[in-house]
Structure 1
Amino acid sequence: MDELHSEILEWTESLVDFHLPRWDELPELDLYMDQVITLIDKYASPIIQSEKHPLLTASMVNNYVKKGLIPPPVKKRYTKRHVAFLVAITLLKQVLTISEIKEGILFQGHVIGIRQAYNLFCEEQEKAIQHVCLYATGKSVSAEESIPTEYLAVKAATAAFANKLLAEKVIEKEKSYLQGEANEK
């Protein structure tokens, strides 16, 4: 079990500096589909195992346009707004349905605007991952601050993703640990 614990500690340490780009850090230049997919992969690959979950494909992007989650590209080029939507969708689809994501994006965009909603999502996702890392390592977490009602959905969704991430990692490591024990016998 010590090996399992040290692997979980190592994993949590790899996430200490996890950062999602804020609105002002997203590319200013319009991008083609393959560039967008590469960028989303770069942003999400530290936390989503791409061999288990395809991060983003051209057909996914096309479906998101058809379903009204993101606006259509202009002359096959995607803007900062598209990238922000795709970052959020890529992470949220791990725990929410596409229709739930669409409703959440529409709501948050209406309440505080797309830029602020995207930055809030990034901040909350990072906090949730840090919280899960603290929980996984047995460190205490300070009492939560009061959460405004209009932020409850984003808070819950980002925490759900981070907890799912932890559960997957622990199960993966437990499976490896048990297989190692079985091989030793």
Structure 2
Amino acid sequence: MEQLEELLALLDFKEMIEREDIPKIDLYMDQVTQLFEGTYGSGKRNEKEKILTKTMINNYAKDDLLFPIKNKKYSKEHIMFIQFIYQLKGSLSINDVRTVLEKLNRAVEEETVNLDKVYDQYVSLMTKQVEDFTAALTPLSEEADEAAKRMDHQDSSYMRQLYLIFSLVHHSNMYRKLAERLTDQLVELEQDNSEKN
């Protein structure tokens, strides 16, 4: 478990762009990528990995994941949406990300939602889930230990690591599949609503 705690410290899942971290003035694309790189850079697997690139941001805009950008500058609201996209794209396809954010995107354009409140609740929820994830690692690690012991293999540290990876990936897949099904329900809700109107 000590090794996992060291990895968690390195990954620093608690690091997140909070609303107060977003400058009050609109940012150019380079400044946006620097903000994300500065916040999430410690979680990179290697120096070549990019957290967020200009191409990614351009693609988000082209794919209608972001409401229109004015004068090549990104508002606080754009930064919030890029944060949502950054998190969602780790598990969902770009089409699913678009589906998930479409209604919120529309509400921001129509000014019918307080995005600051939405974002603050998002940060609060994500922070709590980091704590939950950390707490859940102890039993997961113990289960991997037990599975490795039952194998009675000469390289027990490898077997333990193998079972832990299997477990983490399995959890990840279960969460992803559930998120995909919930996304499908959003599509069904939109279709039902448009049929009623």
Is TM (by shorter chain) over 0.5?
yes
What are structure 1's unaligned runs of at least 5 residues?
140-163, 169-185
For structure 2, list consecutive stretches of 5 or more residues without a partner in the other structure. 141-164, 170-197
1:9 aligns with 2:5: yes
Give how far 1:63 is off. Answer: 0.9
Partner of 1:121: 122
Taking the aligned partners of 1:30 and 1:85, their CA distance within structure 2 comes to 14
User: Which has the bigger relative contact order, CA under 8 A and spacing at least 6?
Assistant: 1
Call closer, same or farther: CA 1:46–1:88 in 2, change over 3 Å: farther
* Aligned twin of 2:148: none
Q: Is the 8 A contact 2:32 2:79 kept in 1?
A: yes
The code of the aligned residue for 2:4 comes to I
Query: What pairs up with 1:14-163 in 2 under 5 angstroms?
Result: 14=10, 18-47=14-43, 49=45, 54-108=50-104, 110=107, 113-138=114-139
Contact 2:29 / 2:72 at 8 angstroms: preserved in 1? yes
After the TM superposition, which of the residue ranges 23-32 and 100-109 deviates more from structure 2?
Answer: 100-109
How far apart are the structure 1 equivalents of 2:25 and 2:64? 23
- The structure with the greater share of residues assigned to helix is 2
In the TM superposition, residue 104 of structure 1 has moved relative to its aligned partner by 2.0
Higher mean C-alpha displacement, 97-106 vs 56-65:
97-106
How many residues are matched?
A: 139
**In 1, Cα distance between the equivalents of 2:113 and 2:69?**
24
Structure 1 residue 112: Cα displacement: 5.3
Residue 138 of structure 2 aligns to which amino acid in structure 1?
T
In structure 2, how many angstroms separate the alpha carbons of the residues matched to 1:137 and 1:80? 38
List per-residue Cα deviations over 1:103-150 (Å, max 9, x = no partner): 2223456495422222222222222222111111349xxxxxxxxxxx
Matched to 2:99, the amino acid is: E
> Of the two, which has the highest radius of gyration?
2
RMSD of aligned residue pairs (Cα, Å): 3.1
